[in-house]
Amino acid sequence: MEHTLAMQIFGVVMILVGIMKNWDPVGLNKSIFGEGEGIEGGPAASMRMLIGGGFAGIGGLNLYCSFMIDNSAVEGDFILIGNVIALVVILSTIIGAKFRGFLEHIPVPPLVIFPSLIGICLYAATY
């Protein structure tokens, strides 16, 4: 897989996740955590929006870089491995929240999306 294609897939998925988190943060919180105290409040929704903005920013950075480097550029490897590191840290944070008792269950989408993107990035970086 070419570096640029992997960065474009990563970028589009992360931007879509960011848009989803910003479109209806209260509804997203309810779908993940159910009805609970503070779910409809501003702080929980604003945090979801901030996280979504961060994901969209990482996605936009990848899309930009995918059009600015050559397919054979070594820089593509660095960007893809950087994506892997970022996703591992994010996924570890989510799993850590479960073990620390802040979550009753780990949401399914990050357990599917992030490992898939990690696999794509690692495959493209070692190709």
State the Cα–Cα distance between residues 71 and 54, nearest whole angstrom: 26
Domain residue limits, the chain: 3-22+50-126
Q: What is the pLDDT of residue 58?
A: 93
Q: Which DSSP state fits 42?
A: H
pLDDT in tens, 29-42: 777 767 766 666 67
pLDDT in tens, 75-118: 888 889 999 999 999 999 989 988 998 878 888 888 899 999 99
22 pLDDT more than 90: no
What pTM was computed for the model? Answer: 0.78
Q: What is the pLDDT of residue 2?
A: 83
| Of 123, 7, 1, the residue nearest 69 (C-alpha) | 7
Q: What is the pLDDT of residue 47?
A: 82
State the Cα–Cα distance between residues 23 and 29, nearest whole angstrom: 12
Q: Provide mean pLDDT across the span 63-68.
A: 90
Q: What is the pLDDT of residue 48?
A: 83
From residue 121, alpha-carbon distances to 50, 99, 112, 115 in Å are 24, 27, 15, 10
